[in-house]
Structure 1
Amino acid sequence: MLKNRAEFENFSGKTANAIKQDFHAKVFLMTLCAACAHSIEDRVVEEYKADQNRKFDQKINRTNALSMTQDILIGAFLRNQFEKAIEAFDKVVAETREIIRPGRSNPRKQRPKKPYSINYKRL
């Protein structure tokens, strides 16, 4: 799922060096996101097990975690405020949870994706 969210097939440049840099940056981003989100997910599972009033399991929203990692990393590296950035990441990701509802599956309409234009990609 995260491979789809990271958009591995869309690159910001056309040269071999630009594609290589994009690929390694996305792999680094996904690895950092997974490392930070793993401890938060363990905490969410423990909170769920402690509260018997909840009907369904919960998990963190990984798509939101990936997006927050991108946003927080910029400030962390530019301002050298890693502790504040990690605390903000933990807080936001722990608060955005998804409920796991068993047996719930809706068929989706398959639409072809439009290719990204190089000029209009997210930075």
Structure 2
Amino acid sequence: MAFIGKPLAQPLDIGSQKTVSSPNYFADHGYRERSSTKIKPLICGEAAFSAVSLALKRAQRSINMAFWGLDPATLLERGKASSYNKQSILAEILISKARSGIKVKVIVWDHPVKFVEIGR
């Protein structure tokens, strides 16, 4: 199966030097389309959080997550009447999986502008 993008030679303004770049870096470096890949659009937060919870709970070897901002107390699944189970909290799921021997890696980065006031 071919890669999605191909590297392009882009001439520089200085002399005859060239640089190689690719708009699809990750696709060009080992992320091939797989027949087992399934994509399902998740429109509402409830469906998305529930799907994340299920995927985390089904993880067998590793969990790798990247966030711009992270609240470890995020409730991924709600019960009836807005009740919740402690095992539905993101941090609790990750801790439980790590304790069971699953490799858990979380990258969190933050933007310097957390809050923006508009219209004062």
Fold-level similarity (TM above 0.5): no
TM-score by length of 1: 0.20
Greater share of strand residues, 1 or 2? 2
Tell me: higher relative CO, structure 1 or 2? Use CA pairs within 8 A at least 6 residues apart: 1
